[in-house]
Structure 1
Amino acid sequence: MLGTFKAVAPYLKFNPKKVAIDNGVFKLHYRWTFAILMVATILVSSRQYIGEHIKCISDTINQHVIESFCFFTTTFTVGKHMNESSLKSGAIPHPGVGPYVQEVDEVKHHAYYQWVPFVLFGQALMFYLPHLLWKSWEKKRIYNLVNGLKMIGITRHIGKAMTVGGRDIPSMIETDTRVNDIKESFKNRLSCNEFWGGKLVLCEVLNLANIVLQIYITNKFLGGQFLRLGLWFLREDWQGPMDSLDIVFPKVTKCEFHKFGPSGSIQNHDTLCVMALNVINEKIYVFLWFWFLIVLIASTAAVIWRFFTLFCYRSLRFNQFIFKYASPSAGRLDSDILEAVIRKCNFANWMFLYFLASNMAGFLFRKVLEMIVLDFNLKLRNDEAVDNEANKQKMREEIKYRPIDEVDGALIPKEKLK
Structure 2
Amino acid sequence: MSSSKKDVLKTRENMSLVKTFGSIKDNFKLKPQQYIIDNWVFKLHYKATVLFFLVASILVTSRQYIGEHIRCISDKGVPEHVMNTYCFFTTTFTVVKALDDKLLDTGNLAHPGVGPYGIDSPEPIIRHAYYQWVPFVLFFQAIMFYITHLMWKKLEGGRLRFLVDSLKWTAFSLEDKEMKVGDNKIPSKSDKEAKIMQIRKLFLDGMYINKYWSVKLMICEILNLLHIVLQFYITDKFLDYRFNDLGSTVWNEGLDSSVDVLDEVFPKITKCTFHKYGPSGSIQFHDAMCIMALNIINDKIYTGLWFWFIFIFICTALGLLWRLLTIVMHARSRGFNRMVFASSCPGRLNPWNVLNVSKHYSYTDWLFLVYLSKNIDPVVFKEIFVGIAEDMEEKRSLKQPLINDSMDLY
Q: TM-score per shorter chain, which class?
A: 0.7 to 0.9
Partner of 1:47: 63
Give the Cα–Cα distance (whole angstroms) in 2 for the partners of residues 292 and 161 of structure 1: 50
Query: For 2:248, which of 231, 235, 238 is the aligned residue?
Result: 231
Partner of 2:157: 139
Shift of 1:346: 1.4
User: 1:179-203: per-residue Cα shift (whole Å, max 9, x none)?
Assistant: 2333233334468501000000000
User: 1:313-354: per-residue Cα shift (whole Å, max 9, x none)?
Assistant: 2113322222225x2x43321111121122321121111111
Give the Cα–Cα distance (whole angstroms) in 2 for the partners of residues 83 and 149 of structure 1: 69
Segments of structure 1 that go 5 or more residues without pairing to the other structure are: 396-418
- Matched residue SS, 2:68: coil
Shift of 1:309: 1.6
Q: Give the residue type in structure 2 aligned to 1:76.
A: F
- Matched residue SS, 1:256: strand
Further displaced range: 352-361 or 280-289: 352-361
Give the Cα–Cα distance (whole angstroms) in 1 for the partners of residues 331 and 400 of structure 2: 26
Shift of 1:273: 1.0
Shift of 1:82: 0.8
Query: For 2:262, which of 239, 245, 249 is the aligned residue?
Result: 245
Give the Cα–Cα distance (whole angstroms) in 1 for the partners of residues 253 and 116 of structure 2: 27
Shift of 1:89: 2.5
Query: CA RMSD for the aligned pairs?
Result: 2.9
Partner of 1:371: 387
- Matched residue SS, 1:250: coil
- Matched residue SS, 1:4: helix
Query: For 1:7, which of 23, 30, 41 is the aligned residue?
Result: 23
The answer as to 2:31 corresponding to 1:31 is no
Segments of structure 2 that go 5 or more residues without pairing to the other structure are: 1-16
Q: How many residue pairs get matched?
A: 389
Shift of 1:276: 0.9
TM-score, structure 2 normalization: 0.85
Shift of 1:213: 1.1
Query: For 2:124, which of 100, 106, 124 is the aligned residue?
Result: 106
- Matched residue SS, 1:200: helix
User: 1:121-151: per-residue Cα shift (whole Å, max 9, x none)?
Assistant: 1111111111110000112211221249687
- Matched residue SS, 1:278: helix
The answer as to 2:239 corresponding to 1:222 is yes
After the TM superposition, which residues 388-399 of structure 1 pair with which residues of structure 2 at under 5 Å, given as runs?
none
Give the Cα–Cα distance (whole angstroms) in 1 for the partners of residues 53 and 117 of structure 2: 38
Q: Give the residue type in structure 1 aligned to 2:78.
A: I
Q: Give the residue type in structure 1 aligned to 2:329.
A: C
Shift of 1:381: 5.2
Identity fraction in percent? 42
Partner of 1:288: 305
Shift of 1:90: 2.5
Partner of 1:77: 94
Shift of 1:385: 7.0
Q: Give the residue type in structure 1 aligned to 2:56.
A: A
- 8 Å CA contact 1:81–1:92 kept in 2: the answer is yes
CA 1:374–1:271 in 2, change beyond 3 Å: closer, same or farther?
same
Query: For 2:201, which of 184, 187, 190 is the aligned residue?
Result: 184
Further displaced range: 219-228 or 176-185: 176-185
Partner of 1:257: 274
Q: Give the residue type in structure 2 aligned to 1:81.
A: A
Give the Cα–Cα distance (whole angstroms) in 2 for the partners of residues 347 and 32 of structure 1: 29
Query: For 2:323, which of 299, 306, 318 is the aligned residue?
Result: 306
- 8 Å CA contact 1:190–1:349 kept in 2: the answer is no
CA 1:333–1:390 in 2, change beyond 3 Å: closer, same or farther?
same
Partner of 1:206: 223
- 8 Å CA contact 1:259–1:267 kept in 2: the answer is yes
Q: Give the residue type in structure 1 aligned to 2:64.
A: Q
Q: Give the residue type in structure 1 aligned to 2:111.
A: H
Shift of 1:58: 2.3
Give the Cα–Cα distance (whole angstroms) in 1 for the partners of residues 60 and 251 of structure 2: 24
CA 1:239–1:308 in 2, change beyond 3 Å: closer, same or farther?
closer
Q: Give the residue type in structure 2 aligned to 1:94.
A: H
Give the Cα–Cα distance (whole angstroms) in 1 for the partners of residues 253 and 18 of structure 2: 33
- Matched residue SS, 1:91: coil
Give the Cα–Cα distance (whole angstroms) in 2 for the partners of residues 146 and 246 of structure 1: 54
Shift of 1:259: 1.8
User: 1:348-394: per-residue Cα shift (whole Å, max 9, x none)?
Assistant: 111111111222222222211222233334444555677789999x9
- 8 Å CA contact 1:145–1:178 kept in 2: the answer is no
- 8 Å CA contact 1:149–1:359 kept in 2: the answer is no
Give the Cα–Cα distance (whole angstroms) in 1 for the partners of residues 185 and 313 of structure 2: 38
Give the Cα–Cα distance (whole angstroms) in 2 for the partners of residues 182 and 380 of structure 1: 19
Further displaced range: 329-338 or 252-261: 329-338
Give the Cα–Cα distance (whole angstroms) in 2 for the partners of residues 19 and 356 of structure 1: 9
Q: Give the residue type in structure 1 aligned to 2:67.
A: G
The answer as to 2:38 corresponding to 1:18 is no
Further displaced range: 108-117 or 177-186: 177-186
Partner of 2:142: 124
* Structure index of larger Rg: 1
